[in-house]
Amino acid sequence: MAAKTTVQDAYDQVLKRNPGETEFHQAVKEVLDSLVPVLDRHPEYVRAGIVDRLVEPERQVIFRVPWQDDKGNFHVNRAFRVEFNSALGPYKGGLRFHPTVYLGIIKFLGFEQILKNSLTGLMMGGGKGGSDFDPKGRSDDEVMRFCQSLMTELCRHIGPDTDVPAGDIGVGGREIGFMFGQYKRIRNEFTGVLTGKGLDWGGSLVRTEATGYGLVYIVDEALKAQGKSFDGLTVSVSGSGNVAIFATEKVQELGGKVVTLSDSNGYVYDPDGIDLDAVKRIKLVERGRIREYVNAHKNAQYTEGCSGIWDVKCDVALPCATQNELDEAAAKTLVTNGCIAAGEGANMPCTPEAADVFLENKVLFLPGKAANAGGVAVSGLEMAQNSQRLPWTFEKADAELKKIMVTIYKNTSEAAREYGCEGNFVAGANIAGFLKVANAMLAQGLV
């Protein structure tokens, strides 16, 4: 069968089987479009039905999470774990707690995770999970009761050699701690079943910083290939969570000036450069809102609403908040304002139309699959340390992270060149990630 027909049939089947799951459709379409030249060259993948199997999760679990708030009221949330593909290792991917979570979001993230994990070169399959629970405004006790209830069911499906969840939006060290404690209690096992753990009980140094640092390492590598660097560049970052904060930290270390940050209510613009200590205090210690930044920074402005953030003139854009936050109009504005590079810290923050604008205008565009793989890479290193029962130093973990990000850049650009689309890192990441998974699936037979 011709490669184009294979891809179209697989996509039609995804639309039919997963109605209304628009984010999942979007993620699948982008990958399948890139794979046509690969399937043309490798008819054995077509014969073995690799693409049809890749787009269908190996297993999906949906369950009820009942919990009680501090006033004694009962609540019910819905939780998901999608175990997408285990060709390269145990399922691996984060848990997201956010009111917008539904099966389509978890599937899009789980699907992306297969290829992202493959790109890291570590032994990890792809999965993702989460719940429509909103931790915002909840007390620590409420979050603990929710996490314990969720893990009471989830512990039946995960394990250090089966499926190893981590954090994502709304799931940080606090939530991982509560879930780990409940898993340990029910299973009577102290194992590396979750990553992102506290440093005293199995966590890895650099895991907290990994996604943001990794993003900046790979964008820096791409800039270097063009004889440029972050030094002296103005950078717009969106979000003010884990990824945004540590991307900002690394950009500043490399001599760049970050001028924006945001949350789901609005964004701040500080022409003097973001004061990161103040942001860390507001967001990580006080769990406050980004608007509070302007109280102590006279030249900074706060704007309600998020979309205007990309109107701020910058050399590099690093969207680090959430999916589809940077659309075609925003990409055009960035191009007009002279933006030379965009790196996705978040998962799929640029719409397909925005990505096309960057590609057409020769803006260096590094897609999330490659650019934010640093987080899961250090999660993989955390699993290795847990198996060895030996913690690594910060320097060792950071050096490994950097090496992995540089390798991802090289493999991605080489795959793009080999398949006739030099400079297109979207296609390059999809192809490089896919080839390893496809070969493993082929070797493991029809499972």
Determine if 239 is a binding residue for ligand NDP (CB under 6 A): yes
Q: What's the CA gap between 352 and 328, in Å, rounded?
A: 8
Mapping DSSP to helix (H, G, I), strand (E, B) and coil, where does residue 344 land? coil
Yes or no: say if 255 and 273 are a contact pair by the CB < 8 Å rule: no
Asked if 165 and 81 touch (Cβ cutoff 8 Å), the reply is yes
6/322 with CB nearer ligand NDP: 322
When the beta carbons of 169 and 312 are compared against ligand NDP, the nearer one is: 169
Contact positions with ligand NDP (CB under 6 A) in 356-415: 372, 375
Site string for ligand NDP, 290-329 (x = CB under 6 A): ----------------x-------------xxx--x----
Residue closer to ligand NDP by CB (options 129, 375) is 375
Q: Are strands 257-262 and 234-238 parallel, antiparallel or unpaired?
A: parallel
- Is residue 175 part of the contact set for ligand NDP (CB under 6 A)? no
Residue 46 or 398: the one with the smaller Cβ distance to ligand NDP is 398
**Residue of 273, 212, 210 lying closest to 246 (CA atoms):** 212
- Residue count, binding to ligand NDP (CB under 6 A): 24
Measured from the CB of residue 322, what is the shortest distance to ligand NDP in angstroms?
A: 4
Interacting residue with ligand NDP among 57, 110, 167, 203 (CB under 6 A): 167
Q: Does 215 bind ligand NDP (CB under 6 A)?
A: no
Helix (H, G, I), strand (E, B) or coil at 155: coil
Can residue 214 be called a binding residue for ligand NDP (CB under 6 A)?
no
Q: Specify the amino acid at residue 412.
A: T
Q: How far apart, in Å, are the Cα atoms of 43 and each of 46, 309, 358? A: 5, 45, 32
CB atoms within 10 A of CB 299: 9
For residues 129 and 81, the answer to whether their CB atoms sit within 8 Å is yes
CB closest to ligand NDP, residue no: 241
Amino acid at 345: G
Judged by CB under 6 A, does residue 347 bind ligand NDP? yes
State how far the Cα of 104 lies from the Cα of 35, in Å rounded to an integer: 22
Question: Applying CB under 6 A, which of residues 120, 211, 260, 412 lies at the interface with ligand NDP?
Answer: 211
Q: Is 384 left (phi over 0), alpha (psi -120 to 50) or beta?
A: alpha
Options 92, 107, 116, 128, the catalytic residue: 128
CB closer to ligand NDP out of 53 and 174: 174
Per this entry, what is the length of the chain? 447
Does 263 contact ligand NDP by CB under 6 A?
yes
Active site residue 92: no
Residues assigned a catalytic role: 128
Judged by the rule CB under 6 A, the positions of this chain that interact with ligand NDP are: 167-170, 211, 239-244, 263-265, 306, 320-322, 325, 345-347, 372, 375
